[in-house]
Structure 1
C-alpha cells in the first residue's frame, strides 16, 4: 500500500510543488526496492526448504480491517459483507481475504479516484453445495492510473489461489467502463488425495 499511496498521492493532492512530487517518487522507489529485497530473501528461504510459515493467516473474520486502510489511502469504498459463513474452510477464507486485498491494491494503482464496491455474499446453487461469491468492482476512473506492471502475480495469482480451493475467478472490464473481479468458491473443503 505504501507504493500505491505514493503513486496516487499526486493525483489526490492539489498544487504539489515539483519537490513534493519528487519526494513521492523517492518514496515509491524506496518502497519498491524494499519489496524486491524481501521477495529475494523469501525466495532464498523457499529454495533452502525453510520451515513452513507459522504466523496466523488472515481469515474472513479479518476482512473488516481492510476498508480502513483503503479509505485512509483515499479510496471511495462501499463495503457489503454478508454474514461470514461459519462453515468456510480456513484456506478458502485466506484466499478470499487475499483476493480482496489484491483487488483493492490494483484498483488504487490502476484506477485512482474510482469508486470501489466490495460485495461478499453466501450463495445456494440448486445444483451444488453452498458457496461464497465475492465481487470487487470499480467505477470508471477519470484519472489515469499506473500502467506499469508490478512485481507480483496480480490476476493470474488470484486465479490460481481461487482454483486451488475449487473455485473460479473472472476479471475484466465492465460494460460501464470500470473493472470487476469476481470469485466464486465452494464452502466445502476439497477432498484430499486418497480420500
Structure 2
C-alpha cells in the first residue's frame, strides 16, 4: 500500500518538486524581521512566492521558469532587498536548465547566475559579509559547483538513454535475426521436402512401372516391386512428418530423427538399386570429421543425382558414385550412361539449383551437365572446413 502511494506520488513531477520546495517555503515563513526591515511583509511574501512557485514546473519548462526566477531576482535587487531563503530557487533553476536542456542553455544560465551574484556583491559590499574576505568568490564557487552537478547529471542521463537505446536496438536486431533464422529454416525445410518427395516418388514411379510390366510374366518380381513401393512410401511419409513437424511449435523436437549423413549413403544406394538402377560406389581417402550440415549436403547431392538418373536416364542406365576424401575438400562425382542431353526436361525441376545452393552455402562448387558420348554427370566439391580454398577446376 505504501509502495503504491509512493510510486503514484513520484509519477507527478510537479508534486515532487512542490514537496521538495516545502522546507524552503516554511523557512521563509518563519524568517526573522531583520531581513524584512526594508520591505513590507506583503512585498516579502510576493518575492518569496515569485521565486519558489515557478520551481514547481521547473522540469516541464526549465528555461522559462529560470527566466522568471532571474527576473524576480532582478526586481529584488532593484528594491535593494538582501538575499532571502527563497533565492535558493536561482541555484535550483540553474541546475535544472543545465541538467535538462542543451549545453548552450546551461552556459547561459551559468552566466546569468554569476552576473546576479556579482550585482548582489556590489550592492552589499559596504554593509555586509564582513566575515568573508571575497563574497563574490564564495558565490561563484557555489554557483559553479551547482552547474557542474547539473552537467554531470545531464551527461549521466544521456549515457543511460544511450544504453537503453542500444538495448532496444539489440533487441530489435535479435528479433530480426530470429525472423531471418525462421525464414532460413523454412527455406531449408522446403528444400528438404523437395529432395524427399522427388527422390521417393521417383522410386515409387519406377517400381510401379516395373510391377505393371512384370505382373503377368514374373509375379515374384512384381511382388518385390510392390514391397519396395510400400517401404519407400513409409520412408517418405516418415521424413515428411519429421520435416513438417518442425513447423509445429507444440511438438517435442527430441522426437525427430537425425538428419541423414555419410553413414546413410549405403541405405540410399540400396534403395536406388532396389528401384532398378545399378549403382557402383567407390570411395578413396580417409573420411574426415565433417559437420552434420556438410554430411547432409553430400547426401542430398548423391540423392538428387541418382534421382535424376532414375527419372531421365532410361531403363538401361547405370550409375557410378565416386567419393574422394581429401584434407581440404570432399569431391563427389555421380556419372551415368543414360540418355544425357537427349533426356526430356519439363523445365520445372528445382533439384540442380537447390543442389548448387546447398553446396554454395559452404563455399563449394557444383558442375552438372551431359557427358561427351552420352550420359550425365554431377561433380561437387565441398570444403572440409571454413576458409578452405577452392581451385578453379570446377569454376564456371
> Equivalents in 1 of 2:292, 2:214: separation in Å?
46
CA–CA distance in structure 2, aligned partners of residues 140 and 108 of structure 1: 9
Verify the 8 A CA contact 1:109 1:145 in the aligned structure 2.
no
Q: Which residue of 2 aligns with 1:63?
A: 265
Match of 2:322 in 1: 119
Q: Which residue pairs with 2:54 in the alignment?
A: none
TM superposition score normalised by structure 2: 0.36
- 1:165-184 equivalences under 5 Å are 165-184=362-381
Higher relative contact order (CA 8 A, sep 6+): 1
Does 2:319 correspond to 1:155? no
Mapping of residues 1-195 of structure 1, within 5 Å: 1-9=199-207, 10=209, 14=213, 42=244, 45=247, 54-83=256-285, 85-112=287-314, 113-123=316-326, 130-141=328-339, 147-148=345-346, 153-189=350-386
What's the CA shift for 1:2? 4.5
Structure 1 CA distance for aligned equivalents of residues 285 and 261 of structure 2: 14
2: CA distance, partners of 1:16 / 1:141: 27
What is the distance in 2 between the residues matched to 1:51 and 1:156?
A: 32
Q: Which residue of 2 is the match for residue 127 of structure 1? A: none
The 1-side partners of 2:303 and 2:376 are apart by 15
Distance 1:51 1:182 in 2: 38
Aligned length: 167
In terms of Rg, which structure is larger? 2
Question: Could you say which structure has the higher strand fraction?
Answer: 1
Q: Secondary structure at the match of 2:260?
A: coil
Q: Please state whether the residue corresponding to 2:363 is helix, strand or coil.
A: coil
Return the offset for 1:155: 0.2
- 1:5 and 1:174 mapped to 2: Cα distance? 24
* Alpha-carbon contact 2:288-2:384 (below 8 Å) kept: no
**Structure 1 residue 166: deviation in Å?**
1.2
User: SS of the residue aligned with 2:247?
Assistant: helix
> Are 1:109 and 1:146, in contact at CA under 8 Å, matched by a contact in 2?
no
SS of aligned partner of 1:155: helix
1-structure distance, mates of 2:277, 2:286: 24
Q: How much does 1:58 deviate?
A: 1.2
Runs of 4+ more than 6 Å apart: 50-53
Tell me the secondary structure at the aligned position of residue 64 of structure 1: helix
Change (3 A) 1:83 1:123: closer
- Cα deviation, residue 171, structure 1: 0.5
User: Is the 2:309–2:338 Cα contact (8 Å) retained in structure 1?
Assistant: no
Q: CA deviation at 1:153?
A: 2.2
User: Gaps (5+ residues) in structure 1?
Assistant: 18-23, 125-129
Q: CA RMSD in A?
A: 3.7
- Shift in Å at residue 45 of structure 1? 3.3
